[in-house]
A and B are shown apart, each in its own frame.
Chain A
Amino acid sequence: MRKIAIAWAILVIGLAVEKPHADEIPNLKDQKVISAGHDLFLGKQCAHCHGEDGNGGVNLARRDLDPKGVFIAIADGREKNGLRMPAWREVLTDEEIWQATAYVLSISHSNR
């Protein structure tokens, strides 16, 4: 029973890693990727809640963020602490979501 549970857990974790297309992660420090992400961040009104510099109502600048977590939050949306962010999968391509991720990381606490 325990072995089945472990195998199941590995499968679930594997799927979770697969979901954001981890193998195709671009260089998130590349200024061109960050710049494209900045344009998306503004164009898709992420600044509405996060502020252009990350100091909006849902503050990103004070948080330590990891790339996959940010990707999944953008792709599938996020509901936490009563707040809600819409999901962007299929509205944005995976490449665009990675670009937005790169910009978010560049303004987050993790970048300092």
Chain B
Amino acid sequence: MHKALLPMSIGLACLLSTVTIAQAADPGSEDPNNWPQYNRTANAWRYSPLDQINKDNVSKLSVAWIAHGGDITMGIQETPIVIDGVIYSITSGDRVAALDGKTGQQLWSFEPKLDPLVKKVLFAPYSRGVAVGHGMVFIGTVDGRGIALDQKTGKEKWQVQLTDFANCHGCNFTSPPVVAGDMLTFGSTAGELAAQGKIFGVEAATGKKIWEFNTIKQDEKSWPGESGRYGGGGAWMPGTYDAETNTVFYGTGNPGKDFINSDREGDNLYTDSVVALDPKTGNLKWYRQEIKQDVWDYDSPYEILLFKKDGKDLIVHMNKSGYVFVLDKNTGNIENIWPVSDVKNFVKDIDKKTGELIGRLELPINKETLVCPSTFGGRSWNSGAYNPKTGLWYNNVLDFCGYLKPVVQKDDPKDYGTGHTGSNDFGRLVMAPDGRKPGRLDAHDPTTGQRKWTHEMEVPGFACVLTTGGGLVFNGDPTGKLQAFDADSGKVLWSFNTGSGMRGGIVSYAVDGEQYILVPSGWGSYAALLLPPLFPQLEKVPAASTLIAFKVSK
């Protein structure tokens, strides 16, 4: 290192250490240099306090290294984990690798032998991340297993079959488990599957299954007759573990069949809900259903943010409908409800006090009905990011619609490739009726919904957003355009073409006094299959599975 840089580096290291906030217990120390869990911290803010890369120097951001993730099938959808300079990554086929954060060089890799049935099921072979804790790396696999690896070597420590993969229409795991103290919780896919989606509690040390929580309530009133048998639900994105109350919060999936409610004329609990579970027992502490008897595919598995405001402990949670629910963290009582967009016709509104759906749009059989937002939602599953310095929550808003046509469909849980949706397709996508741009990056107050700034996009964003202590917001789009914004104003400060679209989570970390921005780039997922008729420019986007690390060049 150049001598003149040494004092500067020491100064920087001190600066970084001064921003360290309260150290949390394993799994994720809240060391600002790390990105230890899916949404970085237990409050799910996706905020990195690092400020070495900031508004003044972001224009000098350049590529530090590039690493390839292997199989490109369905792109790269993960949010990488970074702890003490080591990146833990998962790519298609549940291939796990540990990489050196300074160079991208592989330290170890692990690839499980998957059940051949994976070739037939709807949700495969992608994963959205790993979890790290107790000296192990944990994954949920696309054939329904939990696997633990030694954090230093990648050697398998234990594995456990959790879902009844062959008999639940291929229900599996496409997201990482949550480390909740000594327990792990795994949320399964369901929703579009002829299955009952479950959340599993497993001992982290041994892999022993302790409990399972059925997201389909055994209740004749909620699920008349046999309607709950293949009720769907599930919890296909990671939950939030709150050590303060020893609670794991999950958002749940939609009821099935997606677009037909004639045989399930109840609330259809606990679909489209936030559930608060005791991680030791799986006992339900409380629930808040956001969409009763859903027919528009508006799941609730998105990230659950935790806030303290005016002496209250709050949850902020967006449902796929685009409505944001502000809840009391301890009871689930409603504090406020606000929509991210006015491109909506599935209801006239949602009552801000009771949560009742006002003026529902029902879907007649064998007839196309225009529904806004589309089945991709008012936002996709990719998390937003909250910056405590600006008080703003940044989200990719989707402003397009779709025509849905329910049709009669037989139940067949052995027909693994056909969604249990009550339709021939997932909707014919169209632009919003008022002709507005189809997407934007918005900055909102998370509890009131007041919008501070917006950035319109020709092709909407489908990647998780990052915000940093350097006053920046990073966002990537499906065409490969990666941009850095001024977190206060929304002004574009930097742009880079990554060569493929982004669908995963952008993170930041520091090692040896240097801050990095790490970007998964590789367009894929059902969005890549379904969006081209509405966005023809996406047909030519090449697939990839790449991690690109950026830093400020000296």
Which A positions have Cβ atoms within 8 angstroms of B? 42-45, 47-49, 51-52, 55-59, 76-77, 79, 81-84, 86-88, 91
Contacts and interface: CB of A to CB of B under 8 A. Distances in A.
A82 B74 contact: yes
A89 to B, nearest CB: 8
Contacts of A77: 119-120
B543 to A, nearest CB: 2
Contacts, number: 88
11 contacts: A44-B418, A45-B417, A47-B424, A56-B533, A58-B529, A82-B74, A82-B523, A83-B524, A87-B417, A91-B415, A91-B416
Contacts of B73: 79, 82-84
A105 B323 CA distance: 43
Contact of A57 (B119, B125, B533, B543): B533
Contacts of A87: 119-120, 417
A9 B73 CA distance: 28
Interface string B302-343: 000000000000000000000000000000000000000000
B415 A82 contact: no
Closest 7 CB pairs of A and B: A82-B543, A86-B417, A42-B424, A57-B532, A87-B119, A48-B425, A47-B425
Contact of B120 (A51, A59, A82, A86): A86
A43 to B, nearest CB: 7
Interface residues of B, number: 36
A57 B529 contact: yes
B544 A51 contact: no
B522 interface: yes
B547 interface: no
B72 to A, nearest CB: 5
A83 B528 CA distance: 7
A47 B122 CA distance: 14
Contact of A83 (B417, B533, B543): B543
Contacts of B528: 57, 82-83
A11 to B, nearest CB: 23
A45 B119 CA distance: 16
B454 to A, nearest CB: 28
B374 to A, nearest CB: 13
Interface string B511-549: 000000000001110001111110000010011100000
B530 to A, nearest CB: 5
B504 interface: no
A82 B544 contact: yes
A55 B542 CA distance: 20
Given A88-B120, A88-B417, A91-B414, A83 B74 contact: yes
By CB atoms of chain A within 10 A, which of B124, B417, B523 has the most? B417
A48 B419 contact: yes
B125 A84 contact: yes
A48 B120 contact: no
B213 to A, nearest CB: 28
B162 to A, nearest CB: 22
